[in-house]
Structure 1
């Protein structure tokens, strides 16, 4: 009897990504590009930039009107990239590479503005003329070095090459080469700009490595914010924005090296040095804390997880009165000062926000709770907002020290 062929179901690929995530990453990259690139163009125009990076051999490159077609498709490929990748990790990698290339390239545009050296010939063919007309509306003869078109092509290739094979990979390679070449044949860029774009694309690819996006997500976010603040400092000539950029860069370095105590918080308070170096960071957390208190004003600021174990956020003096007498406080937050009422029986073990704690840090916190419970004292464990770090510690502690059923009903 002939067996019926069985249809083999393909397993669901781990790390799947939703359409919402794809659109969010596309929107973020589009927003940053839409702000930085035109602003860099505007700055160069206002400065009446005449600097050119053309060499003698650039004069020998012929103008090819129809090369505007592959040139225009770069924007389409840019958008499709966010829907071509298959996993959440691939999406994070390509999104961050493009974001890094955009911000770094626009920083160079602002610091070293340059203009294309030659006047583009008049185009008579209808289709290319229309495309060049549209290009003139959205672009200017500035933003030369490095070529973002070329940098993006490098990033496109590194992201898409593993996802295709055979003739599709060959067709992709040919088209991306055409897009890169179109930057010079449309008289948008010089050869030095192309070389700079290749370097920028390779640098962005080498900086953002697959498998490390979750571990360095916070550090990358602060790095991008620091770069945007620096861009604003250049655009506005603002020393305050330059200070914010330097401060955010220090925060990014602290998260990259996972230095939980980088603010130097002692006895529940920040030293003057921390305020001088990290005022934007500390002020941002303070504002967030105030907004959280406002939003959750009808909810309790703390909760009892088990007999003798309370968790929550940083408390005000009024909220601190709800704790039992002689409660020992374990402060996991490096970002906010401790209220004066709770600085008596107080221990500070900083854990980085939005970061998985190190095993040694977890052991230290759990041992401190166990020590206080062994002495018969209640414990209040809190982080900044009461959302993640304190809840994690409570879960781990109760897993190792489950409450006695007879006591839990009291």
Structure 2
């Protein structure tokens, strides 16, 4: 082995040159991947679904995260609960990954039966001295923010989820996101490391050349740009952009919508997030090819169509909420070179397909963008595993958030003694 291959995970990240990408080994090594899952997906808050995944009592959504698995269930009192997907008898999985509907949770091995509140209700052949009260399903820390179901698998869940909750509860409130349904779902396996998926999502240096559908609704200046040596025409466009943003933000604020940028991203953050209400191009209504709403049935009691894009990042998800629909995506790492990307398109619970919306208009922007990003992540992962790869320098104008993610990643590993 070479000297580089002998470096520990911590040594690899600490050797990253400031303003440059990560070592290829941080994307490709199995031991690095296993540590990443343990730290970033088992000890941090992660997004694992939306309330519309379990719309009725008895509905179940099972999500596998590395070696762990959780059951999300809506109980008889309409509460969403989450449990470890482990029978308290001999550890069998209660449910396979995916969605189902149950009356009670029954272990397929020995039929130990649990109520939707997690309590053990029935066993056979355990004798009169057996106490079922200490054999309830193991609960998981859970926060419902808007429609987002965040969980933390660690006993000591990071307390700064409160900052995300406080910030986004107010922003999501007008949209009444729990009164929604899933109009469409997509699962993509990207043959690349999860960090490359997030890095790709944190910059739009690549957008103009690769995302024609997405750039139909985004203002180009939001992608970041180099302010040096701008032409007179570009300077005029920049001033127009600033004026449009200021006008939209003031208008939204007057109507009670919160749009200013909030960032909790750097080394002192544990539960990392960023939110901003982005202006949409064209007619300014929604992330569609036409830039008009895809669903005429707007969220909540909203009457304005031109609310832009209420955007949220976390370290495993990205969200876009418009007046008429939302697109919520989250990732689960499957291997050093394999990442699951789940996306859900939400509309008002009473919206009728073919009357209020059609799926093509609703999904075509992000369906295309997700597949384009899949390709970009895959060719980048392949390149980082090439012997010729050396980490390149980031653009300070368009890749600042990629550099910031690298700093946060290093800080969180250091906080866990790695």
* Range into which the TM-score falls when normalised by the shorter chain: under 0.3
**TM-score for both structures, normalised by structure 2:** 0.22
- The structure in which a higher percent of residues are strand is 2
**TM-score for both structures, normalised by structure 1:** 0.23
- The structure in which a higher percent of residues are helix is 1
Structure number with higher relative contact order (C-alpha < 8 Å, ≥ 6 residues apart):
2
